[in-house]
Amino acid sequence: MTLFGRDSLLTAWMALPLDVDLSLGTLRRLARAQGRREDPVTEEQPGRILHEVRRGPASEDVLGGSVYYGSIDATPLFVMLLGECWRWAPSRRSCGHCCRLPTRRWRGRSTMATATATASSNTVAPPTSG
């Protein structure tokens, strides 16, 4: 079995209008495996989101281990999905593990504006109430 960071993030993003829980679960799982140290073999770095996790007999023979971080887009996609979750699920400001998002103002700008600014400008607008 293999977990791919980019594929999981993109799938969760596309399903966001249908199920916010999928996105929150994806963020939670990838945050648990987020890089914590420098490792040139697996390309792990602090804060980096994984590219893939392999399980099974051959997992240690591929890419220097079972977890590989060599992806240029998984980390920014993680931040972008986090921003989109903020927009689509305003009543759920926490994923329950790592993503406890404050609702207070910080340095003159709201956290929501900061999170939204990191998201792509080509996103579907969240539903509005009223």
Question: Would you put residue 88 in left (φ > 0), alpha (ψ -120 to 50) or beta?
Answer: alpha
Torsion of CA 70, 71, 76, 80, to 10 degrees: -130
Which of 18-22, 89-93, 107-111 is the least confident region?
107-111
pLDDT of residue 58: 63
Query: Tokens 């594929």 correspond to what residue?
Result: 7
Confidence grade of residue 121 (pLDDT, cut at 50, 70, 90): very low
Amino acid at the residue 74: A
Token pair, residue 101, equals 């998002």
- 72-81, 87-96, 121-130: least confidently modelled range: 121-130
User: What is the spatial distance between Cα 92 and Cα 86, in angstroms, rounded to a whole number?
Assistant: 8
pLDDT value at position 59?
A: 60
Confidence of residue 36 (pLDDT cuts 50, 70, 90): very high
pLDDT of residue 28: 94
Q: Is the pTM for the entire model greater than 0.75? A: no
Q: Encode pLDDT of 82-102 as tens digits.
A: 999 988 876 665 545 555 544
How does residue 3 score in pLDDT terms, banded at 50, 70 and 90? Answer: confident
Question: For the chain, how long is the longest CA-to-CA vector?
Answer: 56
- Measured in degrees and rounded to the nearest 5, phi and psi for residue 102 equal -70, 150
